Amino acid sequence: MPVEVLTREEIERIIEEKIKKLLTESAPASQAVDETKVEIAKLKAQIAEISGRISDLAAKPAAGAVPAPPIEDILRSELGGLAELLEIRSQPDQLTLRPRRYLGSQDFRSVSEVLRRHGGFWSSMNRVFIIRKAKR
């Protein structure tokens, strides 16, 4: 079996050709990465601008805006007759709804669904429904 021996110059030439080939193939990829970085920077700037607008709107109420009704009133209207089965207590940081009597599975599920829409949950340890109030 014949063995081919390469000189140092031939090995260097082959390596240079391989490196040039790899660089020409990776140029479009690096350009795409640079373009992506520019797009990300633009999107970050737009997000910052939008969030600034939102915080400005949240900071100052619109003129003639009607304040939202208290959560207690909203719950009473959504619960309808089921509200009579619950003792509703408002505290500074939360609203609690304690069943006056056993609700049964259907009524319990109905109350639970309404409260979940408002971020509430059932506390089995305290045996009350709890809705945390947003800090202002």
Read off the pLDDT of residues 2-57 as tens digits, 9 standing for 90 and up.
777 888 888 888 899 988 888 777 767 777 777 888 888 888 888 888 877 777 66
* Phi-psi map region of 80: left, alpha, beta (phi>0 left; psi -120 to 50 alpha): left
Give the number of domains in the chain: 2
Q: What pLDDT is attached to residue 9?
A: 87
pLDDT at residue 98, as a whole number:
92
Residue 99 pLDDT greater than 60, yes or no: yes
Same domain? 55 vs 91: no
**Domain that residue 88 falls in:** 71-132
Residues 51 and 96 in one domain: no
**Which tops the pLDDT comparison, 92 or 28?**
92
- As a whole number, mean pLDDT of residues 99-113 equals 89
Mean predicted lDDT score pLDDT of the chain = 82
Residue 48 placed within a domain: yes
Q: How many CB atoms lie within 10 A of CB 114?
A: 19
Distance CA 133, CA 102 (A): 26
Model pLDDT, residue 64 = 60
Q: What was the pLDDT predicted at 59?
A: 65
Same domain? For 57 and 84 the reply is no
Beta strands in 45-127 (DSSP E): 86-90, 94-99, 121-123
| Domain final residue pick, 44, 62, 80 | 62
Inter-CA distances, 135 with 84, 89, 118, 119, Å? 28, 18, 15, 14
